Structure 1
Amino acid sequence: MVTLKEMEWNRINELLLEIYSMDNEHEIADRFLKIIRGLIPYSQGFILMSSEENEINAENSSFINISEKMKNLYIDHFYKVDYINYIINDSSTLVFKDTEILENSLRVKSELYLGFLKPQNIEYGCGIIFIKEGNVLGVLNLFRSADLGDFSDRDIRILHLVKDHMTNIIHSLRKSSKSLGGRLSINFDELESYKLSKREKEIIQMMIQGLSNQDISDKYMISISTVKKHVYNIFTKIGINSRMQLLKIFGEQR
């Protein structure tokens, strides 16, 4: 087994601590891609999130160094012919490496390679297929050009260390949101003992509807720092430390 350095373990822990504190799928995907690059260098990459109907949810997905044209081509066509489909199962999350899915002589003749990878000077790929309870939640794909070389055993080891954490975070967010059953209004009488201000109640309403801090900032025309201060006050008054706990409270009130 590959042995990681202490510095690498620290970076992995920092990555997990940060994404566990987040509660928006797009923000998690975007931040994960940026932080993991410090551990696993790559030239291009993306995380595609899927919907409950197993359709690509482009709004919650994130892309690094991939043009809008190529992004749309992948979503509309190449995702369906990607050779990762050969290994997707309905049991559990898995880590993959392109050069281990297909022999290179076959891989370089594939539609994905000729139409999507080669035009972007991509030679190698690896990633994670996030699967929970028989559902594909999303796919992480990291790419490298030929000059960077193929992904190493160390790189794959790091993906194995984070795969279940990412899967559980995505699954928990969706489960918490689903438990609200589309509830759009809250009876705040049950929370009067927490002495929430009018604005704090409004922000709770926005948070349970899935709006990010940036969305709330835009809606109320207040700064991000002000939103964060309100969120901190809400969490302190209620005695929680994450949006997932907030969603659980309202889910249990139904």
Structure 2
Amino acid sequence: MQNNSNYKIDWENIFEFIYETGKITNLNNYSYYFLQKLNELIPFYAANFFLFDENEEIVNSPVCFNVSEQNLTAYNNYYYKIDSIREIAFNKIEPSRSSDLMDYTKWVNTEYFTDFLGKNHLYYSCGIDIHHQKRLLGTISLFRDQNDNDFSLKDLLYLKLISQQCSNQLNKLIIINNLEIKIQKNRSQVLDNTSHKFQLTEREKEVLKLLIEGKNNQEIAQNLFISINTVKKHLSHIFNKTEVNSRTELVSLIFRH
């Protein structure tokens, strides 16, 4: 990327962006909120944010702005094969923009451009891949219409400046998400084992599931649309079957086994 030392950086907005996106604690919400805040820093017409696993396979559906499900499907089914920008810029450390990578006098006549990008007002593009210790975590692509200005070198600089914070936050959220998945799998296994061993009914199993998630009687009642007295009756039956006298003893018993 060229030297951007002559650009006046809006540090106040950059710090606000880093602060706001750093508050996100849920991986599923991060990509959407990131693009939402990024649009205030770098205006765009459309955008997408892909997440990748350890094998660089796409995780779930990407978050998209002004990119329809139909267009996303079309890209995944065919157009990614002839996406020449992807071939050049995918999994790189530095941000890039299409006007630096492609000769537009030739590129606008290619199948990929005329049948996909041009039809969807995706004339200019820029983006950056997010890495953490050489592992690819995500890729962010921004698009503007032909009637807009091209992305500037200052825009690329902004992407570079926020990429490290994005890397740290995304890595943290991925670790937390993976841990939560493991915990959920462990809870499900514990629940199945306990239900089978003590011959719990389906309703008692539902009550036990909410109990080990930390729900109190009122929350269990609200989740199952039953009265608190009914919850207490189910808990009493569970206590009798497992031969314990309290929630603490019950949780200790089922996780010990």
- Same fold? TM cut 0.5: yes
Query: What is the RMSD of the two structures over their aligned residues, measured on CA atoms?
Result: 3.1
Contact 1:93 1:129 in 2 (8 A): yes
Q: Within 2, Cα distance between the matches of 1:139 and 1:158?
A: 15
Q: Which residue of 1 aligns with 2:169?
A: 169
SS at match of 1:154: helix
1:3 aligned residue (2, 7, 11) = 7
Distance 1:118 1:142 in 2: 15
Bigger Rg, structure 1 or 2: 2
Alignment-derived partner of residue 68 in structure 2: 67
After superposing the two structures, state which structure 1 stretch, 30-39 or 165-174, moved more: 165-174
CA distance in structure 1 between the aligned counterparts of 2:138 and 2:73, rounded to whole angstroms: 17
Gaps of 5+ in 1: 188-197, 205-218, 222-254
Give the C-alpha shift of residue 178 in structure 1: 4.1
Q: Hey, what's the Cα distance between the residues in 1 that align with 2:211 and 2:166?
A: 30
Deviation at 1:76, TM superposition (A): 2.9
In the other structure, the counterpart of 2:35 is 33
Note if contact 1:26-1:62 (Cα within 8 Å) is conserved in structure 2. Answer: no
Report deviation, 1:44. 0.9
- Deviations 1:126-185 (CA, angstroms, capped at 9, x unpaired): 011123344322211110011112111221111111112112222222234446782334
Shift of the 56–75 alpha-carbon distance from structure 1 to 2, 3 Å rule, reads: farther
1:139 aligns with 2:139: yes
Give 2:94's aligned residue: 94
TM-score, normalised to structure 1, is 0.65
- Unaligned runs of 5+ residues in structure 2 are 191-208, 216-221, 225-257
Q: Indicate how the Cα distance of structure 1 residues 156 and 203 shifts in structure 2: closer, same or farther if over 3 A, else same.
A: farther
Secondary structure at the counterpart of residue 11 of structure 2? helix
| Structure 1 letter corresponding to 2:158 | I
Q: Percent identity?
A: 23
Partner of 2:213: 202
**Aligned equivalent of 2:15:** 13
In the alignment, the residues of structure 2 paired with residue 157 and residue 200 of structure 1 have an alpha-carbon distance, to the nearest angstrom, of 50
Query: What TM-score do you get using the length of structure 2 for normalisation?
Result: 0.64
